[in-house]
Amino acid sequence: MRGAFLVTVIVLLVAAALAGAAGAAVPTGNALPSDAELTSCKASPKIAARSVAVATSMAPVGSGRSLLVRVDLYQRPLDGGRWMRRGDVPRLGTWTPPSDPTIGSRPDDVFKYRQAVGRLAVPFAYRFRVGFRWEDADGDVVRSASSWTGVCREPDLRPDLTVVRVRQSAAPLVPSAIRYSILVKNVGVGSARGIAVAAQFPGSERDLGPAVTQTVPRLAPRQSVWIGFTGAGCVGSLAPTFTVDPLNAIEESSETNNVLAATCPSSAPPSVATLG
């Protein structure tokens, strides 16, 4: 699978200090005037397009003049398990005040904080836990609250390309070569386009020769296609190998099933190599 769990974070701090401007917009579902809401959940077969976002808001309360918010991201496998906090996400897990330090000193102030996390791993479910803290002029905590957002489900929508079978037969027009028929299949849930399939034939006992490549325009989920190559047979212990997506140009749910070797000795009568 290409790409580790990386994140991009977008932060927006907004405050309203005028009476009636935004103070009435702060939900009061909690005992304290604070709220957190999941505002975006984008699923995609491409890691760069997967993201989740939260919007929070809080208002002054009692002697709490300073307002701070903390956002943590939790994830768990889609098929169940424990929620685990992501401690490796930049800028999460820290108490953040408004960019304007005077926000919170007026009763109608509202501190709004929005955060998005991208490049999400799959298949996982995500949600945010948001903490709210009110401090007095001396920096002592006078009130605190917390809230969970709803759940964002990120299924694995990627394709999964594999070489399923290699059939061998005589090549009538090239007596010294063998005809290989390669069955390539997309066993994932997403479509793939511009799929390269490479064949490498032994050039000596020590190495394989240069790759010969063909391109499959598109494979929908569960779709398969036969591709033909003509080349040399086994040389000693070296067998021809066939690889789908040899440069890892396509994001797949698995990269462990892309290669299959022919059966040796690769000569008539016809033989078949099958993955698994």
- 201-220 pLDDT, tens digit per residue, is 988 666 777 789 999 999 99
* Euclidean distance between CA atoms 253 and 156, whole angstroms: 7
* Euclidean distance between CA atoms 236 and 206, whole angstroms: 9
36 and 133 both lie in a single domain = yes
22 and 136 both lie in a single domain = yes
Structural domain contains residue 90 = yes
Q: pLDDT of 237-252, one tens digit each?
A: 889 999 999 999 999 9
Q: Of 95, 119, 154, at which residue does a domain stop?
A: 154
227 and 129 both lie in a single domain = no
141 and 84 both lie in a single domain = yes
- 20 has a pLDDT exceeding 60: no
77 and 103 both lie in a single domain = yes
- In this predicted structure, what is the pLDDT of residue 205? 62
Peptide bond into 269 cis (omega under 30): yes
Mean pLDDT of the chain: 86
17 and 143 both lie in a single domain = yes
182 and 114 both lie in a single domain = no
Residue 254 makes CB contacts below 8 A (sequence gap 6+) with 1, 160, 162
What is the pLDDT averaged over residues 154-170?
Answer: 96
Burial classification of residue 182, based on how many CB atoms lie within 10 Å of its CB (0-12 exposed, 13-18 middle, 19 or more buried): buried
176 and 254 both lie in a single domain = yes
Residue 250 is part of a domain; what is its CATH number?
Answer: 2.60.40.10
94 and 176 both lie in a single domain = no
Inter-residue contact 128 to 143 (CB < 8 Å): no
Domain that includes residue 179, residue range: 161-274
148 and 184 both lie in a single domain = no
Confidence of residue 274 (pLDDT cuts 50, 70, 90): low
Structure pTM? 0.77
118 and 202 both lie in a single domain = no
Residue 227's beta-bridge partner residues? 182
14 and 121 both lie in a single domain = yes
Q: pLDDT of 70-84, one tens digit each?
A: 999 999 999 999 999
Structural domain contains residue 4 = no
Structural domain contains residue 176 = yes
- 21 has a pLDDT exceeding 80: no
DSSP symbol at 23? G
* Euclidean distance between CA atoms 179 and 150, whole angstroms: 56
Structural domain contains residue 134 = yes
What is the pLDDT averaged over residues 76-97?
Answer: 95
- Count of structural domains, the chain: 2
Structural domain contains residue 94 = yes
One-letter amino acid at 257 equals N
- In this predicted structure, what is the pLDDT of residue 243? 97
Q: Of 154, 176, 202, at which residue does a domain stop?
A: 154
What is the pLDDT averaged over residues 150-169?
Answer: 97
- 7 has a pLDDT exceeding 80: no
